[in-house]
A and B are shown apart, each in its own frame.
Chain A
Amino acid sequence: MFEAAALAVLTAAAVTLSRALTGPSIYDRILAVNVMGTKTVALLALIGFVYERPHFLDIAIVYALINFIATIAFLRYRERGDLRI
């Protein structure tokens, strides 16, 4: 069952990647990168269950946190043209 879920997540990630590559506006691409990060978190959690190594959840949390910061930084850069604080 976990394998089927991982396949579903991978399919969704492939669709998301196509949107990141073709997305007409930059916001499509930013959102696609953000969703890609979310898929990565789900996939990491699933891998942790498949291999019975719950430590993977720690890595998943790290990825979720970094993903959020990346999106905020991209959007702030897009809004102002720089990251000056």
Chain B
Amino acid sequence: MNRRPADNPVAATVSALLIPFMQIYALYLIAHGDLGPGGGFQGGAIFAASLILRAIVFGLDREEERRLDNIAGLLAASGVLVYGGIGLLCMLRGGAFLEYPALPFADPKTAYHLGIYGIEIGVGLAVAGAMLLLFMKTAGSRDD
């Protein structure tokens, strides 16, 4: 990870301490989206921001950049797939689009809770992927 330690020791040290915390915090925000003020959008944004910070401070080599580009596109697409998939699953089970109690769980309350939870995960994936894609496409390497 520490590819350019001499570049700026302060930024490198603080980032190395901060990045794992940011990623855990992003997962916390996504997981508590239905209870607190967080949610999929904020969690996804923080998760993408942690990877952007890593790219700014430590830099990426060509292989990492290519891989991150692929993963970002995959994340954004799979987030939309999760969101739309849950919505369409509700319709397949006889409800309206995103009518959570129609989901195949025993208790409608559980179905409601898990439905919102799945939606938050989908939003988080899509936002993280889209933010990473925006960063990679605007700040990518010189010979793009």
**Contact yes or no, B59 A58, CB < 8 A:** no
User: In the complex, which residues 52-70 of chain A have their Cβ closer than 8 Å to any Cβ of chain B?
Assistant: 55-56, 58-59, 61-62, 65-66, 68-69
In this complex, which of A65, A82, A85 has the most chain B Cβ atoms within 10 angstroms of its Cβ?
A: A85
Contacts of A59 in B (CB 8 A): 37
B71 within 8 A of A: no
**Contact yes or no, A84 B140, CB < 8 A:** yes
B56 within 8 A of A: yes
How many residues on the B side are at the interface (Cβ–Cβ under 8 A)? 27
**Contact yes or no, B37 A56, CB < 8 A:** yes
Cα of A65 to Cα of B43 in the assembled complex, Å: 12
Contacts of B49 in A (CB 8 A): 65-66, 69
A58's partner among B22, B36, B52, B57 (CB-CB below 8 A) is: B36
How many residues on the A side are at the interface (Cβ–Cβ under 8 A)? 17
**Contact yes or no, B140 A85, CB < 8 A:** yes
B46's partner among A56, A62, A83 (CB-CB below 8 A) is: A62
Contacts of A55 in B (CB 8 A): 36-37
A65's partner among B25, B140, B142 (CB-CB below 8 A) is: B25
Which residues on B are within 8 Å of A, measured CB to CB?
A: 11, 14-15, 18, 22, 25, 29, 36-38, 42, 45-46, 49, 52-53, 55-57, 59-60, 65, 138-142
Show 19 A/B contacts (Cβ-Cβ < 8 Å), sorted by A.
Answer: A55-B37, A58-B36, A59-B37, A61-B25, A62-B29, A66-B49, A68-B14, A69-B52, A72-B15, A72-B56, A76-B57, A84-B141, A85-B55, A85-B56, A85-B59, A85-B65, A85-B139, A85-B140, A85-B141
